Chain A
Amino acid sequence: MLVIARDAMRAASADLSPGERLVVLANNSDGHGQSYGSHLNFLISRETWHRIFDRMYPDLFVLAAFQASSIVITGQGKVGSENGHEPVDYQLSQRADFIETLQGIQTTFNRPLINTRDEAHCGHSWGSDRASSLNDRYARLHCIFFDHTLCQGATFLKVGMMQLVLAMLEAGHVDAGLILEDPVAAVHTWSRDPDLAARVLLADGRSLTAVELQWLFLERAKEFAETQGFGEYVPDSAAILELWEDTLSKLEAGSIESLRSRLDWVLKRDLIEATLGDRTGLDWRSPEVKHLDLIYSSLDEREGLYWACERMGLVEHIVTHAEISNLTRQAPTDTRAWTRAWLLNALAAASVQDVDWDHITLAAPNASHGRTARTFHLYDPLGFTKEYLDARLQGSAPAVGNERKSKKGNSKPMKRRRQT
C-alpha cells in the first residue's frame, strides 16, 4: 500500500507549481493535535460480534487488554504529547494520546480503543435475502486503535497477533483473568514508558507491565495452537507465534536495541538518540527533533528515515521487494479483491460510477434498455476469488458466487482474513 501511495504522491507532485512540494507521511498524528487512523478490518462471525459488543464481558475487555499492551510491539513512536496530555520526551504510540474511551462508534473525536461501527460490507442487511443472510453470518471488526507501522516485522505482528486473538475469541478461548482495571489509562501509561517498566492494575488486583501481559496472551495463544490449532484460519500462525515470542523475549531481556530492525518505535528512538549524541544544541523539545519524528515516515525515499535504514539493510524483511511490487499490480487471489480488480480492468472503457467493498457500479454502455447503470454485487467476503472467477469465466460456476457453507455446530473459528 505504501508503494501505491508513493506512486500516487509522485503522480500528484508532477502537477505542482514550481516551489510547491507534496509531503506524505505514513504516521498518525501531525503534532498539532490532529490524528488520523491506520485502520485494520477483520472478518469475524456475527456470533462473535454479539459476544464482544452485546454481551461485552469478558470478550470486549480481553480484546481491549490485548490491544493496550500490544503497543510495545505495534507503536511507531512519537516525540512529545498532544490532546491535553502531560509533556513527554518520547512515547511508544502515535495514537495513544487520542484514545479517550473504551468503546464507541465515533472515529474522529473521543476516539475509542474498540470501535463499534457495524458495517459488514456484505450488502445492506435490509436489502436482498442474500445480503441479509450474509449480514447474519458475518461482521467486520473495524479496528482504529493501531499505529501505522513501516517495519515489516511490526506490521506482520500487528495483523497476525490480532488474527490469533480473534480466532481464540471465535472459539470461546477467552481468559477473563487478563482484563485490565482501566484499559484506556493503561494505554496512556504504557505509551509513556519506553523503558517498559510501568505496571498497571488488572481487574483481579495483579499489577503487570505491558510486556508481562503480552506474555500471558502469547501463552494462551500457544496453548490454543497445541490444543485446537489455528489451522487454516490464521495463515502463518506458527511464524506469528515464533516472531511474537522472540520479540517479547528481547523486550523482557532489556535488549531493546536489538529490535530496532523490527519495531518502529525502537528504530525511530535510536535514530533520534544517535542524532542527539552527534549534534550539540538539540534536545527532545527541539523543532529539529520533531522534524525527524515526522520525516521518519515520509514516503519520499530521499527524505524518509525509515527508507534510508531499509536501503542499508538495517530492517528485517518478511516479504521481498519483488512480492510487494507484484501485489501493487495484482490483487490477492483468495479474496473478492481478485474479481473486483478483474472487473475494473476488463471494463476499463466503461465509466465507473462507484466502487465499494461489496459492489461496483458502471454506467450502462447502452441506455436503450432503459438502464442508466449496472451494478455488480460482490456481497460474499469469502467469495469471488480467483478460483471462482476462473470457473465462472469457463462457465462452470453459478453466477451468485462460491460462498462457503457454514457448518452448524462447528466449534472451530471461522476462516479469518483481513477484509479486502
Chain B
Amino acid sequence: MRDRERQHSEEERRRHSPGAPHDEDGPDDDGIDELRAETASLLEAAGAAIGNALSGNSSEFVREVRQTGGQ
C-alpha cells in the first residue's frame, strides 16, 4: 500500500513539474500521459514484489543465486 501511495504522489509530482503537460492543455498528442499511465500500472502490478525484493539484501541474493554446471 505504501508503494502505491508513493507511486501516486510521484505521479502527482511529475504531473506538476516544470514542463509537464497539464490536464488543461488538452489531449495528449505525444503519448506521454499514456506512457506514464502504463508505467504506473507496471509499478502497481509488481510494486509489492519489487518492494519486497529491494527491502532485502540484493547484493547477497545476487551473490548466492548461483548455478553450477548446467547446459
Contact = CB atoms under 8 A, between A and B. Distances in A.
Interface of A: 23, 25, 30-32, 34-37, 39, 107-108, 144, 257, 260, 270-271, 273-275, 277-279, 286-288, 290-292, 294-295, 302-305, 308-309, 311-312, 314
Given A271-B50, A291-B62, A303-B52, A108 B69 contact: yes
10 contacts: A30-B66, A31-B65, A34-B68, A108-B71, A260-B38, A270-B42, A278-B6, A287-B61, A303-B53, A309-B46
Given A34-B70, A294-B61, A294-B62, A278 B43 contact: yes
A415 B36 CA distance: 47
A289 to B, nearest CB: 8
B69 A271 contact: no
Chain B interface, DSSP helix/strand/loop, else mixed: helix
Contacts of B50: 271, 275, 292, 305
Question: 10 shortest A-B CB distances, which residue pairs?
Answer: A36-B70, A312-B45, A291-B58, A308-B46, A288-B58, A30-B67, A287-B58, A34-B67, A287-B59, A107-B71
Contacts of A271: 42, 46, 50
Nearest to A303: B49
A291 B69 CA distance: 21
B32 to A, nearest CB: 12
A35 B46 CA distance: 26
A257 B35 contact: yes
A34 B70 CA distance: 7
B33 interface: no
Contact of B39 (A270, A287, A304): A270
Q: Which of A32, A271, A274, A314 neighbours the largest number of chain B CB atoms within 10 Å of its CB?
A: A274
Given A303-B52, A305-B46, A34 B41 contact: no
A108 B70 contact: yes
Contacts of B59: 287
Nearest to A32: B66
Contacts of B41: 312, 314
Contacts, number: 97
B5 to A, nearest CB: 12
B54 A291 contact: yes
B68 A311 contact: no
Contacts of A287: 58-59, 61-62
A87 B64 CA distance: 21
A398 to B, nearest CB: 38
A144 B70 CA distance: 12
A275 B49 contact: no
A188 B3 CA distance: 37
B48 interface: yes
A34 B65 CA distance: 11
A287 B41 CA distance: 24
Contacts of A30: 65-67
B45 A25 contact: no
B48 to A, nearest CB: 7
Interface string B10-47: 10000000000000000000000001001101111110
Nearest to B43: A274
A290 B39 contact: no
Given A36-B67, A275-B54, 13 more contacts: A34-B68, A36-B69, A108-B69, A270-B42, A278-B7, A278-B10, A279-B54, A292-B50, A292-B54, A294-B65, A303-B52, A303-B53, A309-B46
